Structure 1
């Protein structure tokens, strides 16, 4: 987990350096060319630069150890900062792009200027963004392999949103650069600023889509996602095969941070066991779960009778049926 956090930090730092240089260059090019698409891209890059700062803050603060006030640690704080990134992408990037595009479509734009500077800046920006994108994709692919998942499925279910945020940001940046290039090029070819405005609006659409995707990912993590179904299945198997356990009544899991899972299980122990036998079984099973799955952080095992009507009603209400054995 420490290695993954260091890799995430490298990904964010590389993205920060690339975005800062790109933002300054795009701002100069926007002032020189008067292009709405270039101005939208400059705002996009400044938003991304600020976002990397938020991601770094999230990485640092979420790594703090658990204490009395936060017994499950600070892992979820990373999701809050990444959710702020989604808000910033929309607020600073998309809204400004929409504004610039609409202004240009309404005819509020400067005179014709040589867009050569803009093309050069966009080409250099594309190369730098590609380097950052490659690092983010490399980390995402590596993490997906470690979890034994295809990249697409890993992106949908990951509890480590930092590298995903950078990957989505850089993907949006590459698409935005192409849209800005197209808008400026069509403006130059046709002499109509309409295409430059369209390019800016489309950049706003791309940023809005990325903001919504990031928002949904982090909202689910903040609410409390269930752990990977494969981990839940493994937990059920380990608990169900124990000699002391007659029935696995219920299993609750929740992601409490990057690669940190809380496991709660209600077990019907065999009636012949003494209270000491149950205590020793709980300690042994908790240790076995942690040894089998590194991401399992806390384990709570509760002895319950499986024929309790209220408990069965709650389990069936949550899953639609009792848990299989």
Structure 2
């Protein structure tokens, strides 16, 4: 599957998640305002944050395909990681912080809130559980057996959001049920705190992944060793002094190698050898679309 087809499927997955979250956020907000449930209001904020994040991810899918230009000669592949980082910040601020706020508000309430109307809230959460679960299943089916899909930060973010949403709904339902049984709102406060911790941890993990790519992350050690082995196997290369790699996007990698060539090669031969080595690297790893060779020692025949 090429990148265009893969991104098309990812775009549909993100749109499905966005549509589900918009409907669910409205339902949770209405249910939360009617019942006054802190846990349900926390889940409403969670769904609003997820909806905004899906917009960020759609922007990343479009902007990352812009062709390279003079100001960005390596292209715009890292746009995906920038928007994924914004999505992580959105989860932290809009979802996690609001959930903690709702938990503290419930604990500081001077009078025990009534649990009347919670049946409606539980029905809303039940519908939300089905919708979030369906979105999660679609995303998981897309990544099954496809390594390239798993590397996509947009799809990983959708999976993390949907999985977190399913757990968040279960926490909210547990808090509401325990509130109904005991009449003590502290259970809903605990549910809000649990949802907040869940969102903050998810945001941190997604943010850390995006940060690593934005500041320049090398390829996997196994791939790096295979690259070095290919260079070492070239008869014209005497020694590989240094091998540097950096991911520029999902299907774009920079490879820079500082090499010593065997003595006795003239300048024309050196040029032909470099072209052949670059083609060999790109043929074995198509994502290595930027290959640079630095000859550290001038051949004696030059």
| TM-score band, normalised by shorter chain | over 0.9
CA distance in 2, matches of 1:3, 1:295: 17
Could you tell me whether the CA contact under 8 Å between 2:77 and 2:248 is conserved in 1? yes
Secondary structure of the 1:299 match is strand
Deviates more, 1:55-64 or 1:37-46: 55-64
Q: What do the CA deviations read for 1:192-245 (whole angstroms, capped 9, x no partner)?
A: 111011111110010000010011000101111111223212211221111211
Q: 1:214 aligns with which of 206, 213, 223?
A: 206
1:59 deviates by: 1.2
Aligned residue pair count: 295
Corresponding position: 1:233 with 2:233: no
Match of 1:112 in 2: 115
Specify every segment of 5 or more residues in structure 1 that has no aligned partner in the other structure, as ranges: 148-153, 307-325
Give matches, 1:1-325, under 5 Å. Answer: 1-107=3-109, 110-144=113-147, 158=151, 160-305=152-297
Structure 1 residues 126 and 112, CA gap change in structure 2 (3 angstroms): closer
Secondary structure of the 1:304 match is strand
1:82 deviates by: 0.7
CA distance in 2, matches of 1:142, 1:245: 37
Q: What do the CA deviations read for 1:239-272 (whole angstroms, capped 9, x no partner)?
A: 1111211111111000011121100011111111
Deviates more, 1:186-195 or 1:160-169: 160-169
CA distance in 1, matches of 2:285, 2:216: 19
Could you tell me whether the CA contact under 8 Å between 1:83 and 1:219 is conserved in 2? yes
CA distance in 2, matches of 1:273, 1:143: 44
CA distance in 1, matches of 2:17, 2:221: 32
> Please, what is the CA RMSD of the aligned residues?
1.6
Could you list the runs of 4 or more consecutive aligned residues of structure 1 that deviate by over 4 angstroms after TM superposition?
Answer: none
Match of 1:311 in 2: none
Specify every segment of 5 or more residues in structure 2 that has no aligned partner in the other structure, as ranges: none
Could you tell me whether the CA contact under 8 Å between 1:105 and 1:198 is conserved in 2? no
Deviates more, 1:133-142 or 1:182-191: 133-142
- TM-score, length-scaled by structure 1: 0.87
Secondary structure of the 2:146 match is helix
Could you tell me whether the CA contact under 8 Å between 2:115 and 2:179 is conserved in 1? no
- TM-score, length-scaled by structure 2: 0.94
